[in-house]
Amino acid sequence: MTISISNSLATTPFTAANSYSNSAAAQKIQQITNDSADTVKLSESQQVVQLYRQGQQVSQIASSLSLTVDTVNSYLGISDAK
C-alpha cells in the first residue's frame, strides 16, 4: 500500500503550527512533571554530605544550612582534634 500527498506545500504551515503547539504542550507537561515527580527530601545530615561532596567548605555548608561548624563536622565524621 502506498500513500501519496499531492500538494505537500499546503500542509507545511499546518505542520509547523501543529508542531509548535505540541512543543508548547510537551514543555508544560515536562514542567508539571518536574514540579511533582522526582522530588526527594534529604535529611539535614544528607544535605551536609551532599554539599560537601559538591566541593563546599564546612563553613559554607554551616552558613547555608544555618548550622554550627561543629554540627557539620559531626555529620561528616570530622573530629576537631586540638
pLDDT in tens, 23-82: 766 676 666 656 666 788 999 999 999 999 999 999 999 999 999 999 999 999 998 765
In a domain, 82, yes or no: no
Give the three cell numbers for residue 9: 506545500
> CA dist 53 to 6, 41, 44, 46, 67, Å?
61, 17, 14, 11, 17
Helices (H), the chain: 8-36, 44-53, 58-64, 69-76
Cell (9 digits) for 63: 552558613
Range of the domain at 53: 44-76
Residue 49 lies in a domain: yes
Q: Would you say residue 27 lies in a domain? A: no
Residue 52 covered by a domain: yes
Specify the pLDDT at position 28: 66
Q: Count how many domains the chain has.
A: 1
Would you say residue 17 lies in a domain? Answer: no
Residue 3 lies in a domain: no
Which position has the grid cell 500542509?
11
In a domain, 14, yes or no: no
